[in-house]
A and B are shown apart, each in its own frame.
Chain A
Amino acid sequence: MKRFISIFLCFLCLTLCFGCAEDAPEPQEGTHFYYPLADLSFQPGSTCYDGEIRALDPKDWVQILNIYFAGPESEHLRSPFPAGLLAQQTVLEGDTVYITVSDHLATLTGLDLTMACGCLSLTAMELTGGQRVVINAEDALLDGQKSITMDKNNLLLADNWQEE
C-alpha cells in the first residue's frame, strides 16, 4: 500500500513538473519561409500558415525567392505556388517591395492566388524588411488585376478579437 501511494505521488509530481511543460523554442537564425499548413487547425488564435527557417545568404533576394518557390521542407506545410514559378526581379523602394515573378502565377485564381500572394508577402517582408509588397506576374493579369498589393495591416491572419 505504501509503495502504491509513493509511486502515485511520484507520478503526480513528475506529471505536474514535466508532463505539461513545453520545450522552450531555441533561437534560430536565417530567413523564414512562410507556407500554408497542410492540415488546418481551428484552435483560437491559430493561423493557416507557418514558417520554416532556412539558413541562406539574405543578399540575393531573387535566388532566395526561387528557392522559396520550390516548396517547403517540412511535411506539415504545403506549397501554394504553381510549378515552374520563378522570381524575376525584387526591388525595395522605401518600405515597399516590388516583386516580379513569372507568369505562372497567373494560373492561380481566387483563394489560391490570395493564399500564394499572402505567403509570398509575409516571406518578402521579413526578407527585405519592407512593410508593403506589390506583386506582378510580368504582363499577365492576376485575377483581372495588374498587380496585387499586400501589407501587414490588410492581411487578417488570426482573429485576435481581444486585441481590438
Chain B
Amino acid sequence: MTCAIITGLVLLFLNIYYSEFSHQLFYQNKQSAMISKATLTASELGNADVLTEASVAATINRLGGSDCTRLIVTDAAGRVLYDSRATGESTYALLPQIIRALDGQDLFTCHYVDGVLQSHAAIPIVCYNSISGCVYMMDADTQLGLLLSSLQNAILSISILLEIFLLLFAVFYATRFSRRLRKIMASMRIIQEGDYTHKVSLGGNDELAILGREFDMLSERLQTSENKRRQFVSDASHELKTPLASIKLLSDSILQYDMDPETTKEFVQDIGNEAERLNRMTLKLLALTKGELDGAETDAEIIYMAPTIERVVKMLSAIARESNIHLRLDLRQDSPVLIQEDDLYQIAFNLVENAIKYNVPGGTLTVSLHRQDDNAILRVSDTGMGIPPEAISHVFERFYRVDKARARASGGSGLGLAIVRSMVERNGGEITLQSTVGKGTTFTVSFPRFDINEEVEG
C-alpha cells in the first residue's frame, strides 16, 4: 500500500513536472518567435521621426501585416496609433504590458488558460534614445493549446491507469504477503506449543519462501535436538542403573551370605569400584550437559579386555547362579585395544546381563575373547530362546523389545542393545549377532587390536 501511495505521488509529481516542462518548452518557442517579430516591428517603427497612425500602418503593411491575434502600436502617452482588432473607438491603451514597455522594459508573458495558450509581448519603440511608443502583440494559440491539453490528458490518463494497476497489484501483493506471513506466524505458534514436526511449506522463491524454508530447517533442528535430549535422558538413566544394580547385588550378597572377612572385603571393594564408576559417569553426564549432548570427549586408553570382562562376569555370576545358568569363560586370547574402559564394562555388562535374562533355566552362557586378523573379538553366547529372523534387524533400535511381556517382567527397557551398539561404534568397533530360535544367540563385538610393539616401532 505504501508502495502504491509513493508511486501515486511520484506519478503526480511527474505529471506536474511534465506539465511545467511542456509549458516552458512551448513558452520558450513562443517567446522567441514573438519577441523577434515585436522587436523587428519596433525597430522599423523607431526609424520614423514621428509616429502617426498613417506611418505606423504603412510600416506594418510593409512588414507583411500582423500574423498574431492582436497588434497594438501606441505613442509614448499610450494613445493607440494602430490596433489590428480596432473597433475604431479605442484611443488610449492602458494595458499593464504597454505601461511596462513604455517604462522602457521588454516584456513577454505566456499563459495557458482554458485550453488556449495566450502570449503577450510588449517592446518599447526607441527613437533617438527616447521612448516614442511601444509595440504590443497578443497571440491566442488554440491549436498549440489543444496539443498541450491533449498531451497532458494522455499522460494523466496513462498515469491514472498505471496507478489503478499499481493499486490492484499492491492490494493483491499485500493480501498474498499477509496470508503467507500469517501462515508463518501460525506455524510459529504451533512450534511454540511443542509440535516440532510441523512445517510451514511455503512455495515460491521470494523472501518469505526463503524465511519459511529457514524456519522449517530450524524446526527440524529443534526436533533433532529434542530427540537427542530425550535419548540422552533415557540413556543416562539406563547407564546409571547398571552400577546401582551392581551395588545392590553386592550389598545383598554381603547381607544374605555368611562370608569370610576376605570375601566381604573383596565385595566391599567391588562396591567401592562401582561407586567410583557411578561417580565417573555422573561427572561425564555433567560435562555432557555443559557441552553438546553427543559430543562426548574420548578418554580412550590402551587396555587389555580380559580384566574388565572378568569383573563383569564376576559381578553378574550371582544372578546367573540364581537363574541356574552355567557360566563359561574363555579369555585366553586377550588383546590390547584402544577403548574407554567404562564403555567396555558397560558393553560387556549389557551383553552378559541380556544373555542371563533371556536364557533358559539350566542354560549356558559363554563369554570368550579371540583374535581374528587385526581385530580383538568378544563373543557372548547363550542357549536361550533366540531371536526371530524378522526381529534381528530391529534389536539394536531404541525401545525395541522382541518379547515385550518377558522384557517387562525382567525390567528391560529396550535400550541396552542400542546403547551397546552406540558405544561399540563410538570406540571404532563393530557388533553383529547370529541367532536361531530355540537354540540361542551369539553377539560378536570386534575392536581393532592395538599392537603395542608395532606402535612403539612406528
Contact A156 B77 (CB under 8 A): no
Given A42-B96, A164-B85, is A154 in contact with B90 using a C-beta cutoff of 8 Å? yes
Contact B90 A143 (CB under 8 A): no
**Identity of the chain B residue whose Cβ is nearest the Cβ of A114 in the assembled complex:** B78
Contact A115 B96 (CB under 8 A): no
Min CB–CB distance A115 → chain B (angstroms): 6
C-alpha gap A155/B96 in the complex (Å): 13
**Identity of the chain A residue whose Cβ is nearest the Cβ of B109 in the assembled complex:** A42
Min CB–CB distance B340 → chain A (angstroms): 62
Contact B92 A143 (CB under 8 A): no
C-alpha gap A159/B72 in the complex (Å): 11
Contact A111 B96 (CB under 8 A): no
In which size bucket is the chain B interface? 20 to 34
C-alpha gap A164/B78 in the complex (Å): 21
Contact B99 A111 (CB under 8 A): yes
Contact with B along A107-132 (1 / 0, CB 8 A): 00111011100100000000000000
From A5, A43, A143, A156, contact of B5 by CB (8 A): A5
From A46, A109, A153, contact of B89 by CB (8 A): A153
User: Does chain B have a CB within 8 A of A38?
Assistant: no
Contact B2 A156 (CB under 8 A): no
C-alpha gap A150/B70 in the complex (Å): 23
User: Does chain B have a CB within 8 A of A91?
Assistant: no
Chain A contacts for B87, CB-based, 8 A:
153, 164
- A5, A43, A47 interface centre (most CB from chain B within 10 Å): A43
**Identity of the chain B residue whose Cβ is nearest the Cβ of A39 in the assembled complex:** B96
Contact A47 B96 (CB under 8 A): yes
Contact B2 A41 (CB under 8 A): no
Q: Which of B230-251 contact A (CB under 8 A)?
A: none
Given A42-B109, A111-B78, A113-B77, is A156 in contact with B93 using a C-beta cutoff of 8 Å? yes
Q: Which of A61-118 contact B (CB under 8 A)?
A: 109-111, 113-115, 118
**Identity of the chain B residue whose Cβ is nearest the Cβ of A143 in the assembled complex:** B77
Given A5-B1, A161-B70, A164-B85, is A155 in contact with B94 using a C-beta cutoff of 8 Å? yes
From A42, A44, A154, A159, contact of B92 by CB (8 A): A154
C-alpha gap A12/B83 in the complex (Å): 47
> How many residues on the A side are at the interface (Cβ–Cβ under 8 A)?
32
Contact with B along A134-164 (1 / 0, CB 8 A): 0000000001000000100111111101101
Q: Which of A32-46 contact B (CB under 8 A)?
A: 37, 40-44, 46
Given A48-B96, A48-B99, A161-B69, is A111 in contact with B76 using a C-beta cutoff of 8 Å? yes
Chain A contacts for B120, CB-based, 8 A:
42, 44, 159
Chain B contacts for A158, CB-based, 8 A:
95
User: Does chain B have a CB within 8 A of A1?
Assistant: yes
Q: Which of B1-60 contact A (CB under 8 A)?
A: 1-2, 5
**Identity of the chain B residue whose Cβ is nearest the Cβ of A164 in the assembled complex:** B85
Min CB–CB distance B7 → chain A (angstroms): 14
- A1, A109, A154, A159 interface centre (most CB from chain B within 10 Å): A159
C-alpha gap A109/B118 in the complex (Å): 32
Contact with A along B86-105 (1 / 0, CB 8 A): 01011111111101101000
Chain A contacts for B367, CB-based, 8 A:
none
Contact B92 A118 (CB under 8 A): yes
Contact A156 B95 (CB under 8 A): yes
Chain A contacts for B95, CB-based, 8 A:
47-48, 156-159
Contact A156 B94 (CB under 8 A): yes
Chain A contacts for B93, CB-based, 8 A:
156
User: Does chain A have a CB within 8 A of B409?
Assistant: no
**Identity of the chain A residue whose Cβ is nearest the Cβ of B120 in the assembled complex:** A42
Min CB–CB distance B316 → chain A (angstroms): 73
User: Does chain A have a CB within 8 A of B80?
Assistant: yes
User: Does chain A have a CB within 8 A of B107?
Assistant: yes
Chain B contacts for A42, CB-based, 8 A:
96-97, 100, 107, 109, 120
C-alpha gap A164/B89 in the complex (Å): 13
Contact A114 B96 (CB under 8 A): no
Contact with A along B354-376 (1 / 0, CB 8 A): 00000000000000000000000
Contact A115 B138 (CB under 8 A): no
C-alpha gap A127/B327 in the complex (Å): 144
Min CB–CB distance A141 → chain B (angstroms): 14
Contact B118 A155 (CB under 8 A): no
C-alpha gap A42/B1 in the complex (Å): 44
Min CB–CB distance B381 → chain A (angstroms): 76
Chain B contacts for A111, CB-based, 8 A:
76-78, 99, 102
User: Does chain A have a CB within 8 A of B140?
Assistant: yes
Chain A contacts for B97, CB-based, 8 A:
42
User: Does chain A have a CB within 8 A of B111?
Assistant: yes
Binding site for B on A (CB under 8 A): 1, 5, 8, 37, 40-44, 46-49, 109-111, 113-115, 118, 143, 150, 153-159, 161-162, 164
**Across the A-B interface, the 6 shortest Cβ-Cβ residue pairs:** A154-B91, A153-B89, A156-B93, A40-B96, A42-B109, A114-B78
CB-defined A-B contacts under 8 Å, sample of 23: A43-B111, A44-B111, A44-B120, A47-B94, A47-B95, A48-B96, A49-B94, A110-B76, A110-B78, A111-B76, A111-B78, A111-B102, A114-B77, A150-B92, A153-B87, A154-B90, A154-B92, A156-B95, A158-B95, A159-B95, A159-B138, A161-B69, A164-B85
A42-B97, A118-B92 known, 10 other contacts, Cβ within 8 Å: A8-B5, A40-B99, A47-B94, A114-B79, A114-B92, A143-B77, A155-B94, A156-B83, A157-B94, A157-B95
